[in-house]
Chains A and B, each alone.
Chain A
Amino acid sequence: MRTLILLGCALLLTSCSSGRSANTGVYMLIDTSGTYREEIQKAEQIIRYALTRLDATDSFAVARVDTGSFSEKDIVAKITFDDRPSSMNRQKRLFAEQVQAFVDDSRSSQYTDITGGLLQAVEFLNEKQPAEKTVLIFSDLKEDLQDGYVRDIAIDLEGFQIVALNVTKLRSDNVDPREYLDRLEMWRSKVEKSGGNWRVINDLDGLEGLL
């Protein structure tokens, strides 16, 4: 009898235990270096698309990639959506406005520190502890570090999904396509060796499976 009562209590407690549905954390890096800045309008489209896909308690941050990207100052906008639908909609609109302002005012940077941005993204998402962690890299993936910046660091990307978006071909890539392919391969191996999952999406019309 006592066992039955205990079993009943355990079942009741199990059924009453509160929890949260699996949430997502997304960190988007936007390359603003050189001629790639011209692509920033497309980045805005992707951000808006991501906003439509994200739900309550999801986290989203947008950061620029410039000379030194491992900095909170490079985060353009960040948010963790509220539990209540009305509040969440308000937050989304505000976020879209912030991104719009960034797109209008952004300036081209001299160097491209993608690894620093990736480090910042990992730090941000690890702090938020979402169930799914996604880093979107909107860049041509051509890293160009200023002298003195050390970025040869091992990054733990276990549980991360890294998606490279709109990886455009440079003029030099057209001359020697191996450069482009080597660049992509370098990033793929770097991410996968760190335990992450690598993906490239160049066709921005096919974003359905992104989030």
Chain B
Amino acid sequence: MALDGIFNTTIRLLEKNLDLRAMNQNLISANLANAETPGYIPKRLSFEGELKDALKNRGGDTPPLTDPRHIPLNGRSAGLDRVQGTMIEAPDGSVGDDGNGVELENEMGRLAENQILYNATIQLAVKKFEGLKTAIKGSI
């Protein structure tokens, strides 16, 4: 794939990271909205380890081409595309009398963390694109 030279693994990794963090944001706001719902168990998305693993095993499990018109995928990027994250459904601390497992403090902490890392990822993507632009223009 010719374009893989420009839009390489970095962009794919940033893209996947943003996607998963946006999903995580949805889960956190759902946990906060249901902070007082009886029997609600908070959900969170764990994907950092999976992303790391996908980056590590380059090549290896490239999907086989079953049709000549298929575009071959770069092994590493293909692994990245398959990362979906694992949803963990477990109470933050002790479950109250009403069966609710949400702890506001934990959720707020996770909300802030997710937001900061999302913004950092966007910043990295912006810098990456700026670098590409500079390279294309050929002048600083």
A and B physically associate = no
